[in-house]
Amino acid sequence: MNLFPLSEYTDFYEKTKYQLTLRLSIAVCVMLVILGVTFVLFDQDVMYLNFIGLLLCIGIVALILLTKKYNIAAIFFTVIGGSLCIFTLLSLKVDFLFVDPLWMIIISLFAYFTLGKIAGNMTIFIQFSAVVYYLIFDLNYNLLNLKPLSIGEQYSIAVNAFLCATVIAYLIHQFLKRNAFAAEQYRALTRELKIKNDLVENQNREKTAMLKEIHHRVKNNLQVITSLLRLQSRDLTNEETIKHFKEAIDRVGAMALIHNQMYQSKDLDRIQLQPYLESLSTNILSSYILEIPVNISFNISLKHTRSNLIVPIALIFNELISNSLKHAFKTKNRGEIRIAIKETGENQIQIIYEDNGAWQQPAKEDSFGLELIDALAQQLNVDVMRIEENGTRYIFNLDTEQE
């Protein structure tokens, strides 16, 4: 018969609990046999109590072997063993009770290792409550009624104490062995996690490098498109068509600037707003021949935004700045454009664009620029508020967590 059915317990700790319960039960049986022989040889009265304990331990061993489980046997061992310790301590008032506390320590440690912290704490509390009771109420009586030990009693106590010390040493060994296993498992898990983490970091670096390269190539392709559009526009003579080509070039350039910033960014999913909008506005200003100085100021408290939002936001600002430069400052000595972006709540931001111009050429409601702004606003799922008072103001309220 396989005494230690390892296939029944795949978990190391459950397996050790089963093995500890079975081995300790067998060990106690052997100890009780040795003590029984000692008691018989020296004609000790406790040999009858020892015989009862031996029968109970044999029953516990049989229960473990039949059920292949340790839980019920561990409970029986703790309850019966603890009860016998308390009974011996409180009933044998004229004997030397040196060994009983050692057995109480054994029972308590066993309960801790096999039944868990709660059962262990309860066992310690009950066992040592009995010790406290003994010290307060029975110790003086016990000391006053002690008689000198016979040779048999001395040998019995010595054998009992030696066996208890052996069991305590074994329990401590099991505790250290379990801790060593746990420490090795922790080290192995740490090594495994480090390997996986290194693998994930390498994969992330490779993906980041690949995405950066994609953004770089997209930026280059968009710059090629703008170059082709500029070359094509040189052959045009119609001013309206040339204007449309220039607007298309500006829009493509705004998107190329986004991919350039993504290529240079450490975090591809978070774009720094203010540096990007400053670069965008500088590019737009440089593409227009302006008769007056135009200043663009920024008040942006939101540092980053998600990459999926930056393209429509950039195109909206491209249209707004272009419209201001084309229509707003013809009667002004100086142009002012103010851009503000702030958080108004959790995942909520407000974008405000305004200029100080007096519009000489009211925008057509069906113009491509305004239609594009409305289409981009719908893509961002925001309502556009436009106010024409002392210039033009656009207000956008945006949910940054939308897909």
Please say if the pLDDT value at position 35 is more than 50. yes
Residue 305's nearest CA partner among 371, 353, 239, 261 is 261
Average pLDDT over residues 337-364: 79
Q: 142: pLDDT confidence band, cut at 50, 70 and 90? A: confident
**What share of the chain in percent tops pLDDT 70?**
90
Contact 104, 166 (CB under 8 A): no
Mean pLDDT of 207-232: 78
pLDDT surpasses 50 at 1:
no
Mean of the pLDDT values across residues 154-169?
Answer: 86
Please tell me the predicted confidence (pLDDT) of residue 144.
85
CA 274 – CA 264 distance, rounded (Å): 15
Q: What are the structural domains of the chain?
A: 6-195 (no CATH), 288-403 (3.30.565.10)
pLDDT per residue over 49-87, tens digit each?
A: 778 878 888 888 888 888 888 888 889 888 988 898 898
> What integer pLDDT is reported at residue 185 of this predicted model?
84
User: Does the pLDDT at position 267 exceed 80?
Assistant: no
Residue with tokens 């019995």: 156
How many CB atoms are located within 10 Å of the residue 319 CB? 24
**Which two three-digit tokens encode residue 172?**
């401590």
Question: Lowest-confidence range among 63-77, 130-144, 219-233?
Answer: 219-233
pLDDT of residue 101: 87
Mean pLDDT (whole number) for 174-190: 85
CA dihedral 312, 315, 319, 324 (to 10 degrees): 100
Contacts of 335 (CB under 8 A, 6+ apart): 290, 292, 293, 294, 295, 324, 325, 328, 329, 355, 356, 357
pLDDT digits (tens, 9 = 90+) for 271-310: 777 887 888 888 888 877 777 888 989 888 877 777 677 7
Which of 19-23, 37-41, 93-97, 263-267 has the least mean pLDDT?
Answer: 263-267
Per-residue model confidence (pLDDT) at position 123: 92
Range in 167-171, 197-201, 244-248, 263-267 with the lowest mean pLDDT: 263-267
Query: Which of 17-26, 194-203, 204-213 is predicted with the least confidence, judged by mean pLDDT?
Result: 204-213
Average pLDDT over residues 134-154: 85
At 271, which amino acid appears? I
- Looking at residue 126, what is its pLDDT? 93
pLDDT of 181 strictly over 50: yes
Average pLDDT over residues 198-217: 79
Structure tokens at 212: 């950066």
Strand partners, 342: 350
Q: How much is the average pLDDT of 160-178?
A: 86
Question: Which one, of 310, 221, 224, 210, lies nearest residue 261 by Cα?
Answer: 310
Helix (H) or strand (E) run with residue 353 in it: strand 348-355
pTM exceeding the 0.85 threshold for the entire prediction: no
How does the average pLDDT of the chain come out, rounded? 81
